[in-house]
Amino acid sequence: MALEDRWLHPVAGPDEVRAPEQARDEEVLLLAVARGDQAAFAALYDRIGSLVHGIVRRVVRDPAQSEEVTQEVMVEVWRSAVRFDPDRGSARTWILTMAHRRAIDRVRSEQASRNRTQRVADQHYARDFDEVSERVEVSFEHEQVRTALSTLTDLQRQAVELAYYQGYTYREVAELLDTPLGTVKTRMRDGLIRLRDALGVA
């Protein structure tokens, strides 16, 4: 499948050990983009474009639509770079948060929630998730996240994964997992807090 050929080796790998430098470089580039520096934008795209596309592909799935969304996200990065505030988080978080939001918006506008609900009810959720996972080169980052995810309770992990990777609202997640709304909200929060601590996110 041509699709699989497009899954490249991660940009992270051993470089991830130098995460602080990487984060600083991305921040410098994004701040330059905010001043209208197109070369900096191209460099930023080369560093982070495959991460943006990875997250978008994972949520949107359809290759053609994913490219559209990735393009939208990167153009939005260019357009609104001036809003990036280094005091409020890293450049990578700012961009990937935007990418995820856009991907979710696309999924929600494209698919009736009932269809998606049905899809998960048919137990396709676990298989989809693993299929995608297997295409991704195992990296340092990937291992770290997998390890952190394994520290969550089943309900925490399912709630976080269904929302983040599949684009379900917490109401849909509650329905899918046959769990009260309040519980799902709480599990998403305490699951993420546990992940935050396990990953050492400041």
Partner 1 sequence: MSSYPDLHTLTGAYAVDALPEDERVLFEAHLAVCGACEQEVQELQATAARLGAISVAGPSAGLRGRILTEIDAVRQERPEPVVEAPVEKLAARRAVPRWVANGLGIAAALLLVAVGGLAAVVASLQGQVANLEVIAGTAEQTSAELGAVTERLADLERRTVDAPVLTSSAVTDVLAAPDVVTVSVTHDDLLGRVVASPTRGEAVFIAEGWEPAPHEHTYVLWLITPDGAVPAGLFDPDDQGRATRVMTGDVARATAVGITIEPEGGSPVPSDEPMMTLQLG
Residues 108-127 contacting partner 1, CB under 8 A: none
Among residues 78, 97, 89, which one has the least CA distance to residue 30? Answer: 78
| Contact flags string 59-78 toward partner 1, x per CB under 8 A | -------xx--xx--xxx-x
The CA distance from 125 to 85, in Å, is 36
29, 30, 53, 176: residue in contact with partner 1 (rule CB under 8 A): 53
50 near partner 1, rule: CB under 8 A: yes
27, 31, 142, 175: residue in contact with partner 1 (rule CB under 8 A): 142
188 near partner 1, rule: CB under 8 A: yes
Question: Of 28 and 37, which CB lies nearer to partner 1 in the complex structure?
Answer: 37
What torsion do the CA atoms of 81, 83, 85, 86 make, to the nearest 10 degrees? -10
What residues numbered 12-31 form the site for partner 1, per CB under 8 A?
Answer: 12
What residues numbered 75-94 form the site for partner 1, per CB under 8 A?
Answer: 75-76, 78-83, 88-90, 92-93
What torsion do the CA atoms of 158, 164, 168, 171 make, to the nearest 10 degrees? 70
Among residues 53, 43, 47, 52, which one has the least CA distance to residue 6? Answer: 53
Q: Given CA atoms 190, 168, 53, 30 in this order, what sign does their dihedral have?
A: negative
42, 110, 121, 134: residue in contact with partner 1 (rule CB under 8 A): 42
Among residues 95, 15, 8, which one has the least CA distance to residue 56? Answer: 95
Residue count, binding to partner 1 (CB under 8 A): 84
The CA distance from 187 to 191, in Å, is 5
Helices (H) and strands (E) in the chain — how many of each? 11, 0
119, 165, 175, 179: residue in contact with partner 1 (rule CB under 8 A): 165
* Tokens found for residue 33: 């983009």
160 near partner 1, rule: CB under 8 A: yes
Question: Of 29 and 99, which CB lies nearer to partner 1 in the complex structure?
Answer: 99
26, 29, 30, 58: residue in contact with partner 1 (rule CB under 8 A): 58
